[in-house]
Amino acid sequence: MKNFKNLLFVALFFVTATVLGQTKITGTIVDETNQPLPGASVLVKGTTNGTSTDFNGKFSLQAKSNSGVLVVSFIGYKPNEVAFSSSKKNLTIKLQEDAGSLDEIVVVSNSFAIDRKTPVAVSTVKAADIELKLGTQEFPEILKSTPGVYATKSGGGYGDGRINLRGFNSENVAVMINGVPVNDMESGRVFWSNWAGLGDVTSAMQVQRGLGASKVAVPSIGGTINILTKTSDVEEGGNIGYSIANDGYSKYGFTYSTGLMDNGVAVSVSASSTEGRGYVDGTAFKGFNYFVNITKEFNDAHKLSLTAFGAKQQHGQRQNRHLISTFRESDRGRKFNSDWGYKNGQETNSEDNFYHKPQISLNHYWNVSDKTFVSTAAYVSFGTGGGGGYRGVNKFGFDNSDYRIGNLGTINFDKIVDENIALGTNGSESILRASRNDHVWYGVLSTLKTDVTDELTFLTGIDVRGYKGIHFTEVTDLLGGQYYLDNSNKNNPNNQTQVGDKIAYDNDGKVGWFGGFAQLEYSKDNLSGFLSANVSNTSYQRVDRFNYLDSDPEQTSEKFNFIGFGTKGGVNYNLDDNHGIFANLGYFERAPYFNAIFTSFVSNTDTNEDAPNQKITSYELGYTYRAEKLTANVNIYRTEWRDRTETASFQQLDGTNATANILGVSAIHQGVELDFTYRATDKLKITGMASLGDWRWGSNVENVKIFNDAQVEVAEVDLFIKDLHVGDAAQTTFALGTSYKLTPETTFTIDANHFANLYSDFDPSDRGTAGAPDAWKVPSFTLFDTAIRHKFKFGSFDTSIIARVNNVFDTVYISDAQDRGTSSAAEAQVYYGAGRTFSVGAKINF
């Protein structure tokens, strides 16, 4: 017994010594601007004991001794060694960017796509590059030097930009802000005007092309764009800024952060105001954007982060494309816009856009244990606004010389007003209206991550969303008349409407979404991979308050449910320190969108409830090269998109519609992508990319029979589209850029982007004749941009000035085109891109 007691004493002594000799180290890894660095490596020097930082740059590590040294590394930054001890165990570690190292780490909310580990094709743009190069460009345009991306300003109005990825438009590209999906739940589209000013608060923007690594049940065909906004800074400070640009552009704003206070709370706020006349005639704009983040650290296990941001804006639009000959005939050339004029001396738009979409999210981060982590985000947004237009007699057409001031001049609103006044008690003949698209959107996204073993990680999560789109048209300007007579509302016929009253339609679109996913990740030595699966249910319902009496039970439609699912996997293998290869493969089925179900705008019962799921198969092979001066990526991809949502309608003699699903409509998107970064010296960096796409429609679809509700055949249609090129995005793009440090404080950049094989957009249903030609191919073009940034001291404040010029050589080019069936330049309707523009801005940090 005595020996047993002695043995127990010795054992307890060693256990106590071991426990007392351990130290729990916590801290945050940040960059030079105090932004957190998710995915940074933290290692106890001389051991294999390490971890990586979470979404907010936080880490927690159990060291086996009371003191030692941490080695912190992050690709693109200089490694840093920091001592720790039992009295110094809560650390803030700052890393400096290293011009001689790689810059390929990618940061994603809820998804870390890490260079040489995650098997996807990926590109990233950090806050410093956005600040340097964005200027007055549309937010998506910052990605135009990314392989597979085609981004334009569209009509040229503030926030009207668009982006295509590997030939797919925004309906088929998942866009997430801080891990929260923002694609419209009815149409799948992304309206960038809702996020005007987002560039001010973006910490990093990442493009995962193809299947991507996003860990939510979001099926994206072309890829995923992840936007990570700033969080509360670790240190106190802020800045004020002001910039001016062409065509009356001016912007001013400020940012301030309290830093992490003693009570564990950190607050960051940012706001800016922007206005200008617009490069295109009649596109004056005004916007105000804001951002607030409040973070509270309760303890090592729990943290809350509340984020709210939005951008209230209003701008004139160039909604209508025109023939090339029209632009050439107009005195305003490529700035010509037919959708505006003057009323009583004030600029007035027949087409405009106004919107405000605040988004609020509450994130909870829970370190359950050293191996398990739970992240939950609850969010809500309230969208209000829409787009303007006319109602009644069309007196606004650009070719209606009776209501134009001069040839192809501005709209003569005063003449329209005078005619409405003359009508007296008969009411207005022509008015201005707004098509409203308000919405309420809420959701919860929760992800659990646990380390099963040192090599195997399991992730699972749910994605729940509810959405109500509130659609109606309202009178905005009677243009001199006493009222406007509207007969659209069965509940209120012969309505003599005033400004603010609803006309034409009033309905709701209700969308529900419930999705879940599970993923296994494996990583050991040079081999890593993942396998994931997801399933989702999408429900649609429609409420129509104009075409149905309030007493009609069909005013609210049935609810229709569609199941979607998918699976994907990938593997990455590093052959050695320089060479690596990766591959991924996936298949998923996506539910059709709202308008594919409710094909008639005036009916809740004329539905297409048998609309098929879209079916997508995609695979990709890639090679990576990493060295001290050169990093390069090459990948090939192929995506087959079957049963694209395509319908044909036929109006019967009784005025009702018959609709058919056109099955078998497919497209094949394949190509090769290359991008590289070469750091020639400590001062000179050269970047480049080439993207060679071959995007074509897959097959003809013939003898599609259309039946009415009684199953009687009423029409037959054909689609002759096999091997026709997919339009609306440049299939061949090249980019070459240089960044040169003239001095340690001065950086100068030049970027060239070439776009070719851009086919006009067209509707496949319009190609109903055998031997139908390709859409008209837009002439190729090359654009040059340049920027310079100089940092200096203004008293005791760090200050920077940035000057930019876009389209340096004032190249005339067509950025968007719509084919009208003749495949000719003479008949195509187009938008011209912007000419030479400039901006100059200053920022003072305090």
**Which amino acid, one-letter code, is at 490?**
K
Q: Is 595 in contact with 639 (CB distance < 8 Å)?
A: no
Q: Tokens 């720790």 appear where?
A: 84
Q: What is the mean pLDDT of the segment spanning 822-829?
A: 93
pLDDT recorded at residue 405: 94
Q: What is the mean pLDDT of the segment spanning 484-510?
A: 96
CA distance readout (Å), 803 to 243, 245, 494: 9, 10, 58
Return the higher-pLDDT residue of 787 and 44: 787
Does residue 636 carry a pLDDT above 70?
yes
Domains of the chain (ranges; CATH) run 20-94 (2.60.40.10), 121-229 (2.170.130.10), 237-552+580-845 (2.40.170.20)
Q: What is the mean pLDDT of the segment spanning 449-472?
A: 94
**Which amino acid, one-letter code, is at 401?**
S
Residue 527 token pair: 């081999």
Q: Is 623 in contact with 634 (CB distance < 8 Å)?
A: yes
pLDDT recorded at residue 124: 82
Q: How confident is the model at residue 421 (pLDDT cuts 50, 70, 90)?
A: very high
Strongest mean pLDDT among 55-59, 217-221, 719-723: 719-723
pLDDT recorded at residue 822: 85
pLDDT recorded at residue 719: 86
Share of the chain above pLDDT 90, in %: 60
pLDDT recorded at residue 106: 33
Among the ranges given (183-192, 350-359, 487-496, 710-719), the one the predictor scored with the smallest mean pLDDT: 710-719
pLDDT recorded at residue 56: 66
pLDDT recorded at residue 99: 40
Q: How confident is the model at residue 605 (pLDDT cuts 50, 70, 90)?
A: confident
Does residue 173 carry a pLDDT above 70?
yes
The rounded distance, in Å, linking the Cα atoms of 305 and 758 is 44
Among the ranges given (280-289, 666-675, 711-720, 775-784), the one the predictor scored with the smallest mean pLDDT: 711-720
Q: What is the mean pLDDT of the segment spanning 168-192?
A: 89
Q: What is the mean pLDDT of the segment spanning 49-57?
A: 70
Angle, CA 110 vertex, CA 108 and CA 114 arms, to 5°: 45
pLDDT recorded at residue 685: 94
Q: How confident is the model at residue 657 (pLDDT cuts 50, 70, 90)?
A: low
Return the higher-pLDDT residue of 634 and 27: 634
Q: How confident is the model at residue 87 (pLDDT cuts 50, 70, 90)?
A: confident
The rounded distance, in Å, linking the Cα atoms of 103 and 404 is 55
pLDDT recorded at residue 658: 59
pLDDT recorded at residue 221: 86
Q: What is the mean pLDDT of the segment spanning 702-718?
A: 67
**Which amino acid, one-letter code, is at 83?**
A
pLDDT recorded at residue 310: 94
How much helix, strand and coil, in percent to the nearest 5, is found in the chain? 10, 55, 35
Does residue 346 carry a pLDDT above 80?
yes
Q: Could you report the per-residue pLDDT of 296-316, keeping only the tens digit for each?
A: 989 888 989 999 999 999 999
Among the ranges given (201-205, 213-217, 251-255, 778-782), the one the predictor scored with the smallest mean pLDDT: 213-217
Does residue 422 carry a pLDDT above 90?
yes
Among the ranges given (188-202, 485-499, 654-668), the one the predictor scored with the smallest mean pLDDT: 654-668
pLDDT recorded at residue 525: 87
Does residue 166 carry a pLDDT above 70?
yes
The rounded distance, in Å, linking the Cα atoms of 532 and 116 is 19
Return the higher-pLDDT residue of 763 and 761: 761
The rounded distance, in Å, linking the Cα atoms of 195 and 290 is 11
Does residue 761 carry a pLDDT above 60?
yes
pLDDT recorded at residue 16: 45
The rounded distance, in Å, linking the Cα atoms of 392 and 500 is 16
Cα dihedral 342/343/349/353 (nearest 10):
130
pLDDT recorded at residue 46: 75
**Which amino acid, one-letter code, is at 552?**
D
838: β partners: 805
3-class secondary structure per residue, 174-228: EEEECCEECCCCCCCCCCHHHHCCHHHCEEEEEEEECCCCCCCCCCCCCEEEEEE
Average pLDDT score, the chain:
88
Q: Could you report the per-residue pLDDT of 567-601, keeping only the tens digit for each?
A: 999 999 999 989 999 999 999 998 988 988 887 77
Does residue 8 carry a pLDDT above 90?
no
pLDDT recorded at residue 14: 43
Among the ranges given (116-130, 742-756, 776-790), the one the predictor scored with the smallest mean pLDDT: 116-130
pLDDT recorded at residue 103: 34
The rounded distance, in Å, linking the Cα atoms of 413 and 402 is 11
Among the ranges given (45-54, 557-566, 798-807), the one the predictor scored with the smallest mean pLDDT: 45-54
Among the ranges given (17-21, 100-104, 131-135, 781-785), the one the predictor scored with the smallest mean pLDDT: 100-104
Residue 334 token pair: 């490529």
Share of the chain above pLDDT 70, in %: 89
* Residue length of the chain: 846
